[in-house]
A = this chain, B = another copy of it.
Amino acid sequence: MDGTGWRPVKRTRTFEDVLAQIERRIAEDGLTVGDRLPAERQLAEQLGVSRSSVREAMRVLETLGVVSSQVGRGPDAGAVLTSRPDSALTDLLRLHLGLASLEMREVIDTRHMIEQWAAATAASARADTADLAAALAGMDAAGSAEEFVEHDTAFHCALAEASGNRLIAAIMRSLRDSMRRYSVEAVQRLGDTSVLRADHVRILAAVDAGDPGAAATAVSEHLAHAYPSLFGH
């Protein structure tokens, strides 16, 4: 106890203050996607800080996928508010997988959960399945494991989007991005993709039929086929 009643709880770095100011401004001025933030030099002057601090705050916002910086001049230049949570989530997953603070098993279980939910929800909502069918056609035409996985990813992301929940769709895209290499290896190990194709057809049919239970079951069986090593008991 120092008797002053003070505790150096946490020092606030300048760029954190800048972040708070910008966030407040977004809320107060009702800024939304497409609007521009003031230029770095202006912002620095307005807030009474150096441009470096403003730039560090910009890096954070860019990392979180809420702004996008463009050089040059004109209406599209400068820091523009955007909404790209995908790359942020992807980077997050990739780095934490690299640090071994997450395991692939956890990622795949999460995907399993999301995909079952998305399939059931899309089926209940009788969502449009044109994108799903297109991705299925792409898989049939694929000539390599990489190409197959690409269209497979498109199929599953389209399924997540069909659920109508943008947060879940964003998480799904990031999960797939993080697993790409792993998925390619899984397909190569499997060799034959006809089983996977049949699974996809069943998922699509269940969604089209508006049968949530069947859709969820089809997804579950599909993942068991795709990653047999993770579903053994």
Contact = CB atoms under 8 A, between A and B. Distances in A.
A89 interface: yes
A5 interface: no
Nearest to A112: B117
Interface residues of A, number: 44
B100 A32 contact: yes
Interface string A77-115: 000010101001101110110111110001101100110
* Copies of this chain per assembly: 2
A5 to B, nearest CB: 23
Interface string A56-69: 10011101111000
Interface stretch (A142-150, A165-173, A187-195, A224-232): A165-173
Contacts of A9: none
Interface string A9-32: 000000100000001001100011
A194 B105 CA distance: 38
Contact of A64 (B26, B61, B81, B95): B95
> What are the nearest 8 A-B pairs in CB distance?
A83-B101, A113-B117, A63-B63, A106-B167, A59-B59, A56-B59, A60-B63, A106-B165
Interface of A: 15, 23, 26-27, 31-33, 52, 55-56, 59-61, 63-66, 81, 83, 85, 88-89, 91-93, 95-96, 98-102, 106-107, 109-110, 113-114, 117, 165-168, 171
